[in-house]
Structure 1
Amino acid sequence: MSGGIAKLLKEKDYFSAEDDLHRIKQVQEFLADRFVFENLDVLLKVEDSITPEFIEEKMLLKGRGGLCYELNALQHLLLKELGFNVYLTSATVAAETGWATDRTHVMNLFWKEGKLYLIDSGFGSNLPLQPVELDGPSVTSPAGSFRLRTSETEKGTIVLQTKINKGWNTRYAFFPEKAEWDDLDRIKKEIHTSSKSAFNRELLIARLLPKATLSVNEERLQIKRIEGEDQRILFSTDQEMLKNIKSNFNEPIYQAAVQYVQRKGFQNSK
């Protein structure tokens, strides 16, 4: 563990907490605060294998974020180093038109006293920010309410659901089976190359704030607040997009976005 992470966890009183679930919650809050959901490596066609060394260099040393197979891989490494017996697994996301690409969402699972918990730091800004117990109580974060339920589907026997006005909406389904690091490369390849992928078409950066969710794509910046009015800023140029990225995200994210805009401009000029 880097000295910076250890220092930040110490500031959160992580090492004085006795309950494992509370300690994991603190790790999830730390990850949400420091590492954003972003697909710039997909757009920049960075094809490096997903290994512990790659994750540590990209995120801990360079300060970048990533997609689920990177964010939850970092979560996995950190929790394992802290002594938690977590394991990676993969899920299929439920889209408006049906199931998305098969088993391309990565999360962590954790058993404690015979109960199974989902730990997810890589689902855009839709983060529970704490472990979610299978068939246990729902949990709430600035992104809304979440629950984990046993449910037979063609894509798995467990579903993560979020609360909507009319009830509960399934966000993804999975079988509680262990995924290996090699499987993360399969998922990365699918995300980079599949015509069904939602992440290889245009830029997306998202983060969870203490009282809101914030996201940027190539058309707009959007802030959805728990209290108060939502905010939406439309972009008429790439420079406006970059200006808003610079003001809402760290310098490494901004520089990667600049590279993407330059690459896109070069390709469009051919």
Structure 2
Amino acid sequence: MDEKLESLLKQKGYFQTKDEFKRITYILEIFASLYPFENLDVLLEKENPITPSYITEKMLRRGRGGVCYELNALLYMVLKELGFNVYLASATVESPKTGWIIDRTHAINIYEKQGKMYVIDSGSGNNLSMAPLELDGPVVTSPAGKFRLRTKTTERGTIVSEKMGEKDWLLRYAFVPTPVGWEDFNRIKKMIHHHGESPFNKSLLIAQTLPDGTISVNDERLLRKWSDGTVKKVPFTSEEEKLNTIKKHFHPSVYEDAVKYVEQKKQQKPI
């Protein structure tokens, strides 16, 4: 077990409780605090294969975040090391604006306990339930909103993850609970990096669920939402302002690669 993660688990009281669901919730809270969703490696065209050693170096050693196949890969590693009965699966994300995104390009963890199924997901940035979602079970509330998992047949699977919108439940992703192996991370990575419809290979996105709400940064603005409904949007007037914002809110290693991304953009800009 990584020393930093073990220390944080001790602080949470992980080893003092026997409740597996509380233990998983503590893990998800720690992951949300440490590892934002961020697509800098996609934009910087880093093609390293997704392996346990790569994930360990990038996230545990360097403190970087990542996209779903990195965040949930590390989560899978930690859950397995701590003795949880989890397996990997792939889901298809649905966008309210464009419909289904590339098929099966969202990595998730599935946990089974006493005949019940749960999704454990740290790879959704500012849409984290911060607790296991039980299939056809109760609604889970986090600083990011209200979430549920239910049985529903769709074009992309028989189980759906949903989030409460302003008036109704919104589909987030659908899947079939078929186990996949580590090689599936690299299939997903290839699609996210190179597919023309990938939402993450064109512009910056850094997003995180916080104890009191959510934060996200893209090329144009900072967006901060609080759990009480307060929203603050700050447009960037320069690349320097964007970088200073990233430096203020995220790990130094995220800022370092954000600087590389901005420099890359400058070099690619037509004269």
Task: Give the TM-score taking structure 1 as reference length.
Answer: 0.98
For residue 194 of structure 1, what is the amino acid of its counterpart? H
Q: 2:153 and 2:103 mapped to 1: Cα distance?
A: 16
- How far the C-alpha of 1:95 sits from its partner, in A, is 1.2
Q: Is residue 167 of structure 1 aligned with residue 131 of structure 2?
A: no
Partner of 1:116: 117
Partner of 2:39: 39
Q: Deviations over 1:95-134 (max 9, x none)?
A: 1221100000011000001000000000121000000100
- How far the C-alpha of 1:269 sits from its partner, in A, is 5.1
Q: Deviations over 1:47-106 (max 9, x none)?
A: 000000100000000110000000000000000000011101000001122110000001
Q: In the TM superposition, what are the counterparts of 1:125-144 in structure 2 within 5 Å?
A: 125-144=126-145
Q: 1:4 and 1:200 mapped to 2: Cα distance?
A: 31
Where do 5+ consecutive residues of structure 2 fail to align? none
For residue 115 of structure 2, what is the amino acid of its counterpart? G
Identical-residue share of aligned pairs (%): 53
The residue matched to 2:190 in structure 1 has which SS?
helix
- How far the C-alpha of 1:229 sits from its partner, in A, is 2.9
Partner of 2:183: 182
- How far the C-alpha of 1:165 sits from its partner, in A, is 2.7
The residue matched to 2:65 in structure 1 has which SS?
coil
Q: 1:88 and 1:229 mapped to 2: Cα distance?
A: 36
- How far the C-alpha of 1:166 sits from its partner, in A, is 2.4
Q: 1:49 and 1:198 mapped to 2: Cα distance?
A: 20
Q: 1:47 and 1:198 mapped to 2: Cα distance?
A: 17
Q: 2:132 and 2:257 mapped to 1: Cα distance?
A: 31
- Over 3 Å off, 4+ runs: none
For residue 237 of structure 1, what is the amino acid of its counterpart? S
For residue 115 of structure 1, what is the amino acid of its counterpart? K
Task: Name whichever of 160-169 and 119-128 sits farther off.
Answer: 160-169
Q: In the TM superposition, what are the counterparts of 1:1-270 in structure 2 within 5 Å?
A: 1-96=1-96, 97-227=98-228, 229-268=230-269
Where do 5+ consecutive residues of structure 1 fail to align? none
- How far the C-alpha of 1:228 sits from its partner, in A, is 5.9
The residue matched to 1:191 in structure 2 has which SS?
helix
Q: 2:88 and 2:68 mapped to 1: Cα distance?
A: 11
Q: 2:166 and 2:8 mapped to 1: Cα distance?
A: 37
For residue 53 of structure 1, what is the amino acid of its counterpart? S
Q: Deviations over 1:209-236 (max 9, x none)?
A: 1111000000000001112631111012
Q: In the superposition, relative to structure 1, how do residues 51 and 245 fare at CA in structure 2: closer, same or farther (>3 Å)? A: same
The residue matched to 2:23 in structure 1 has which SS?
helix
The residue matched to 1:31 in structure 2 has which SS?
helix
Task: Give the TM-score taking structure 2 as reference length.
Answer: 0.98
For residue 213 of structure 2, what is the amino acid of its counterpart? A
The residue matched to 2:123 in structure 1 has which SS?
coil
For residue 9 of structure 1, what is the amino acid of its counterpart? L
Aligned residues: 270
The residue matched to 1:232 in structure 2 has which SS?
strand
The residue matched to 1:135 in structure 2 has which SS?
coil
Q: 1:216 and 1:82 mapped to 2: Cα distance?
A: 33
Task: Name whichever of 92-101 and 105-114 sits farther off.
Answer: 92-101
The residue matched to 1:116 in structure 2 has which SS?
strand
The root-mean-square deviation of aligned C-alpha atoms, in Å, is 1.0
